[in-house]
Amino acid sequence: MTQFFNDPPPLPASDIPKRPPQVHVPDEVLARLARCTAGSLTTQLYIKGIRQPVLHGITPLNRKVMPFAGRAYTMRFIPAREDIDTYGNLVTQPHHDHLQWVGVEQLQPGDVLVIDSNRDGRAASMGNMLITRMMMRGARGVVTDGSFRDGLELAQMDFPVWCTGVTNTTRLSYHHVADLNVPVGCAGVAVYPGDVVHGDGDNITIIPAQWAEEMADLCEKRDGIEAYLAMRVKAGEALWGVYPPSETTRAEYQAWLAAGSPAIAPQGPATTMQGT
């Protein structure tokens, strides 16, 4: 006879540990981060110990969008199941088996929807209608490690849309929305609700919410000196002591700022390239 030892009993639901809410990142910090470069952000996050904050393998569908930063609202997919994810089961009111519309209608101004599509682009994560609705709700972008449908329409929108590709295969074929606003993995990066999602022409970068203001402070300083160093390199200086900057170069940067940031004229090939 099998004997089971089940002492103590399972925890009651009220005692199961729950993650405390994230730090709320204010809009003014988001505005500062939007002006920072992905290069400075990834470097400063690496210094803090975050090796890979970039959603690798996704690209923007629309190339004219300005840089942005917003708070992550997450949507988690699991594989679809044939008895649940049927077209006939789509309903016209909130329903536990059709959370995608619920998620879109929960978005707040300043949010970025991050969809964990399990890196499966065989079916669209969503399309033009839902993305238009989230734009009208004040969201700042949408990101998935899968595909979107309606690529031609999305490419014309003044709204950041990042994904791995385009397919018009319906989401129901391969995806089921299992959870909203829970920790997810997107393109190999952990994303917690409330994290900052930063996008520019190069990357989508995830910034832990508790470091958002610190990253804004650090990156504003770094972007300033990086622009100064780039001008010196274009003026013909060798990298040694300039990049990365030595203490002497840092002092020269402060003196340059104090002098009113005068232009540093490029020399040689840089002059030719700027004229073409």
Binding residues for substrate are 127-130, 149
**Residues annotated within a binding site:** 127-130, 149-150
Residue type, 160: P
Is the dihedral angle over the CA atoms 33, 35, 37, 38 positive or is it negative?
Answer: positive
Check: CB of residue 26 under 8 Å from CB of residue 208: no
DSSP 3-state assignment of 168?
Answer: coil
Asked if residues 36 and 223 have their Cβ atoms less than 8 Å apart, the reply is yes
Q: What does DSSP assign to residue 22?
A: P
Report the half-sphere exposure of 190 (CA within 13 A, side-chain side). Answer: 6
DSSP 79: E
| Omega prior to 17 cis, within 30 of 0 | no
Q: How far apart are CA 271 and CA 268, in angstroms?
A: 6
Residue 31 CA to its chain's centroid (Å)? 14
Question: What residues form the annotated binding site for Mg(2+)?
Answer: 150
Spatial distance between the Cα atoms of 126 and 147, rounded to a whole number of angstroms: 8
